Structure 1
């Protein structure tokens, strides 16, 4: 195995996007030879990761068509990380100059939006790293040789993108590659760290740096309703990539957000009435002759994005300036009990709340086709025309009873 790593590093100096003889040799090592060696240890790797051999993923990539500057070979749980763009995994990353290779606990540097992949922001990747580190502290205590930063010397954005995704890594110099036994022992150790991250994901309602669960769920639901097909599951059941809140969890978060917002307004002299079960807003506030219509959003995320229905947007624009948006973010969700319990939360209030078009992101459209206005004639093809008054909609996957009333 050390010989194979050395061979790949020696070929790195000849990197080109074209499929030259050197790049073909490199591709065989990355896609075939190295994965084959790792698969010889499948049983031990699967045990260290806490999965079956069938659930263990081992693969290498060096680019489809054009050759990538930084090739990689990774080990993962197939369910937790169905592709290298999602989830956490352990990966060999070869430096551009061929002077070193890293064995890195890393992560997907893009995120699925329900219709496409978007590059994650560096600050989001680092936030995810910061979330993972406390779960690894005890296991890492005696491994002083671990690196929290890696430097691949890449010239391409894709190659540089791996660096902020690193949690911890072993660095192996080309001039001092360890023996195969040391390499395998290090790999088993890193896979045990990966298992700790997977276990932490199971109980995490939200991971810093990830989109809010409500936003991701709405995007995925909109994609499903629109009939979009995906080559990948939108959400591995054990992964942090796109967790779907249950109806009970959504109710617990909603109740908590209203519970936090109510005393906030009462302290300002408002009389607070919860009208969320029959109006397109949550709290009706009265203070003398004053009226305020407050929309309350609760989330386990940092609260940078929330979901609004079309009715909420239209009504709040009519209520302005006698309106308010209350976001109760960073709510803690405990799933250990029979019924989920929401606690904590940080309140942020905007009042008056003016909704600008540039602050809205369209998740899906309702499109009126010509089919609804014409009687089809057998054997005659009727062209569809684009209607200027096609309605634009912001979708929210809400508790059915509340959604029906509001819409």
Structure 2
């Protein structure tokens, strides 16, 4: 692969020629190793996307070229992807894995505030460490020398980065480096595919949105969606962990999940409480979805209810069956639901019963 020569040319190319280099030479060379990158992405490599930008029109301070799964990152503002940046002074090239600057919330994509962007990149680093034991060799500071607002946001959106100084370009195996970056990107995609980067509430909202608007790509969340068997495995794991936790805390328990709007009736020292169990693959336990009946229960019987959240449940599939494992317990005894923010996510809209037969509106379509 002649990438080192193309990268060297970047340092000596005038600004007008940068676009031809970024969108031409480098993209062509990445295309040539596309099969290796697709293999490293595993199940996410079937729709490999390679694109680039030098800020067509108004040239950007920080040109880039990226590759990813088209489904997981349809454009540079969404999802995670491998992206190569060039130092603004031409001193180095940076091979990175980063994310876009927008995310899903209540059915649409919105800009990510700085603190949430930091949370996303920190989450991605934890996923990589969980899979590989370290972020090396992508443990360099993401400092590309940017001074303008948008390029600075690219730096902030970088989760892991490997810096290759200009003097080392000829001795660097970029094909191998890109392949390693793709492997780490796959681990992030694997985690996203079971919603680990979303709160439980966001997961459930997406599932609802996918049912109500099956053709809406934003509502369906690129790459995400637990099947009914997978969801059942997560919920069973949460119930099992909750039962074990409650018994170890000295409670006698009765499973009421099939007949009531809570999951366990737990008794200790003649004190009886109603326990709601929420299980999720999410690594974030700061948002859950509840039914109207569940909300009403916690309001009416405040002080006599508890919430038990089992987060970070892991899923594996074997011969079509799902196995759930792991899980972190958060026990909220005497939970006050009114201390949490509550937002409506969907409405049930019912036609009023007038006793008159429903008639089509004149001019309406008839089959």
TM-score by length of 1: 0.70
Shift of 1:108: 3.9
SS in 2 for 1:256: helix
How far did residue 341 of structure 1 move?
3.0
Q: Alpha carbon RMSD of aligned pairs, Å?
A: 4.1
Q: Structure 1 residue 75: deviation in Å? A: 2.3
Deviations along 1:332-362, one digit per CA (max 9) or x if unpaired, are 4343476433334332222222212752244
Structure 1 match to 2:208: 222
Q: Secondary structure at the match of 1:121?
A: helix
Deviation of the 1:74 alpha carbon = 1.1
Specify the alignment match of 2:108 in structure 1.
115
Residue 312 of structure 1 aligns to a residue in which SS? helix
* Contact kept? 1:296, 1:328, Cα under 8 Å: yes
**Hey, what does 1:278 align to over in structure 2?**
259
Query: Given the alignment, which residue of 102, 109, 128 partners 2:94?
Result: 102
Q: Do the aligned residues in 2 keep the contact of 1:103 with 1:187 (CA within 8 Å)?
A: no
Structure 1 unaligned segments of length 5 or more: list them: 13-21, 381-407
TM-score, length of structure 2 as denominator length:
0.77
Whether the 8 Å CA contact 1:106–1:167 is kept in 2: the answer is: yes
- Count residues with an aligned counterpart: 354
1:57–1:268 distance in 2 versus 1, CA, 3 Å: closer
2:272 pairs with 1:291: yes
Shift of 1:319: 1.6
Post-superposition shift, 1:150?
Answer: 2.0
Q: 2:54 aligns with which of 62, 74, 77?
A: 62
**Gap change, CA 1:307 and 1:169, over 3 Å in 2:** same
Give the CA deviation at 1:229.
Answer: 5.4
Q: Distance in 2 between matches of 1:178 and 1:287?
A: 67
Q: Quick one: distance in 2 between partners of 1:134 and 1:148?
A: 18
Deviation for aligned residue 1:157: 4.4
**In 1, Cα distance between the equivalents of 2:117 and 2:188?**
22
Residue 178 (1) aligns with residue 192 (2): no
Q: 2:76 aligns with which of 81, 84, 97?
A: 84
Q: Using the alignment, how far apart are the partners of 2:41 and 2:244 within structure 1?
A: 47
Secondary structure of 2:169's partner? coil
Alignment partners' CA distance in 2, 1:222 and 1:268: 35
TM-aligned CA deviation for residue 364 of structure 1: 3.3
Tell me, yes or no, if the aligned pair for 2:104 and 2:221 is still in contact at 8 Å.
Answer: no
Deviations 1:252-276 (A, max 9, x none): 3222322232344445554321111
Q: For residue 133 of structure 1, what is the aligned residue in structure 2?
A: 129
Residue 340 of structure 1 aligns to a residue whose secondary structure is strand
Name the CA distance, whole Å, in 1 between partners of 2:341 and 2:269: 33
* Cα distance change, pair 264–359 in 1 and its aligned pair in 2 (3 A): same
Corresponding residue SS for 2:125: helix
